[in-house]
Amino acid sequence: MEKLVAISGVVKSYSETSVLTGVDLEIAQGELIVLLGPSGSGKTTLLNLIAGIDTANSGEIVVLGKNLSTMTDLELTEYRRDSVGYIFQFYNLLPNLTVLENASLGLELKGEKLDYAKVILEKVGLGDKSQRFPAQLSGGEQQRVAIARAMAKSPALIVADEPTGNLDKNNSKSVRELFKEIAHNATIIIATHDNDYLEIADKAYELNEGKLIKIK
């Protein structure tokens, strides 16, 4: 399989606090990767570095053959827009937009047609709720909209930060199953403290004292 992400010797600290102390990781195209670890272990930091939201102090992050550390701000913006779908713990839906409009945001940024967002909403089981607003949905349904929004622009890479952290057991299970379904369309990296994700992972790592330990 083609290598999509190559991380070597990545170090990241905030003021006096070291978060990542030399991370190495390779991810092949189409893999579903799970990053485990307690809150504060650096999972979100690593996701943000891979997604081009934050920059490392040292080391190298190459995604899709591009070295993120040498990119300009404009190039990073284009990379995030075109290549990365980000799913947040708190959904980050816009309350005044419908489900369909929220799911279409990435497509509008890329100047593409919105028809595909309708297809994706059907895929995540929300085709009949496309004209509702986020406040009219359950937490599980809102997270499905967030997943649909990330998928709609067909990114090469989807990163998800504690995507089921606010959901009950049943909704968490259905969202995990959804990730498994969409994994053949994109490379997925999920940061979580939920060990149930090990069931769907191709590979899994634990962040411990700033370093990655392979556990699956």
Structure confidence by residue, pLDDT tens digits, 147-180: 888 888 788 999 999 888 877 888 788 888 888 8
> 112 pLDDT exceeds 90?
no
Domain limits for position 99: 32-52+84-214
Has residue 59 been placed in a domain? no
pLDDT confidence tier of residue 205, bands split at 50, 70 and 90: very high
More confident residue, 213 or 111: 213
In the predicted model, is pLDDT for residue 109 greater than 60? no
Q: Distance between CA 4 and CA 32 in Å, rounded?
A: 12
Residue 157 in domain: yes
**96 Cβ contact partners less than 8 Å away, ≥ 6 residues apart:** 133
Alpha carbons 42 and 39: distance in angstroms, whole number: 8
Distance CA(182)–CA(177), nearest Å, equals 9
Dist. CA 53–CA 57, nearest whole Å = 14
In a domain, 67, yes or no: no
Q: Is 171 a member of any domain?
A: yes
How many domains is the chain built from? 1
In a domain, 131, yes or no: yes
pLDDT one-digit tens code per residue, 56-102: 999 999 999 999 989 999 999 999 988 999 988 778 899 999 999 89
CATH number of 152's domain: 3.40.50.300
Q: Is residue 158 part of a domain?
A: yes
Q: Note whether residue 19 is domain-resident.
A: no
Within-domain flag for 120: yes
